[in-house]
Amino acid sequence: MKRTLFFVCLVLGFFVLSLIPVSAQAQQKAMKLRLSVMWPTQHAITKLYDQWAKDVEKATAGRITITVFSSSILSPPMQVYDNTAKGVVDIGTSLLAYSPGRLPLSEVLQQPLGYKNGYQATKLANEYYRKFKPKEFDDVQVLFLHGAAPGLIFTKKPVKSVADIKGLRIKANAENADIVKNLGASPVTMPVTETYDALSRGVVDGCLFPIEALQGFKIGEVVKTVLEDYPMSYMTSMYTIMNKAKWNAISPADQKAIEKIDEEYIEKMGKLWIELDDNAMKFAKGKGVTFVKVSKEDEAATAQKMKPILDDYVKVTKSKGLPGDEALKFCQDYLKKNQ
């Protein structure tokens, strides 16, 4: 009788143990994550995030599913970083500039470094992150970075040189208003959603935007000139981050699978930004917009006018004990080698 009871207990024990991995696997299969994006549903960036989510689900054999919420439904763009860190949002993407002062070292990415295109900018952003692993991102899991570039000045009236924008009122974000100011124009800050109307009514004379905005925000309908002055070109840098606790709950094998997909999407995002810029240029030219390449003399003069902005970045970061000088040199060297 005792022997029979012993075997019954042994069998039950093995049965209970066998349920443990099944239960853990079932729990991971039930991991449903929500991704917040600011672009509308039909935007190409949103569609690419949709595909990323599908690839993650496939690579993890359905253990992780991601639903993409467009148009900032889950979180206002300015609050995405904090909401992701807190777990209000599982995965978030937004502009680094929408967390002013929160990511000081990484602000190097939005400086006027002379970006030529979004692929170059996206690759640099991720190389920068790998190199410096800034502690300012420690409260989230960085999946990948990307960004729109080049950021240039568009004007309502025809212009032929940098001198022609002196005194003009140019819409600019707070983080790059000094670009406009150092070129002799007057920066005017306002939301991107108000810019089209402001240009139409003459509230501003131009704007500082990435090329994609010519089509994405229809700015190509209300401007006449794009001033191709690349020494002032900046990147609108963006992050894709995940709540740290949610990331840590994913198995190491699935984490590696996601990281592999992220590497693929760095390439895809970079190439998409070039495609969007090409489409935007065609759209703008179809509306009569002229692209004016400034002279070498103008470029040299602009580079000198941007230097104080770069010096200020280094000064501010160094005052916080951060290697801003190293980050800036790394980015400048990368761009020189990867034209």
Q: pLDDT at position 191, please?
A: 86
Residues in the chain with pLDDT values less than 70:
1-30
> How much is the CA Rg of the chain, to the nearest whole Å?
24
Domain that holds residue 133: 27-337
> Does residue 198 fall inside a structural domain?
yes
Give 332's strand partners: none
> Does residue 251 fall inside a structural domain?
yes
> Does residue 295 fall inside a structural domain?
yes
Q: pLDDT at position 192, please?
A: 86
Identify the CA nearest to 148 among candidates 88, 214, 90, 197: 214
> Does residue 67 fall inside a structural domain?
yes
Task: Write the pLDDT tens digit of every residue in 37-80.
Answer: 999 999 999 999 999 999 999 999 999 999 999 999 999 999 99
> Does residue 330 fall inside a structural domain?
yes
Q: pLDDT at position 257, please?
A: 98
3-state helix, strand, coil in the chain (%, to 5): 55, 20, 25
CATH for 151: 3.40.190.170
> Does residue 207 fall inside a structural domain?
yes
> Does residue 309 fall inside a structural domain?
yes
| Alpha-carbon span 35 to 15, nearest angstrom | 38
Q: pLDDT at position 278, please?
A: 97
Q: Which pair of structure tokens corresponds to residue 119?
A: 């692929």
Note the pTM of the prediction, 2 decimals: 0.90
Domain count, the chain: 1
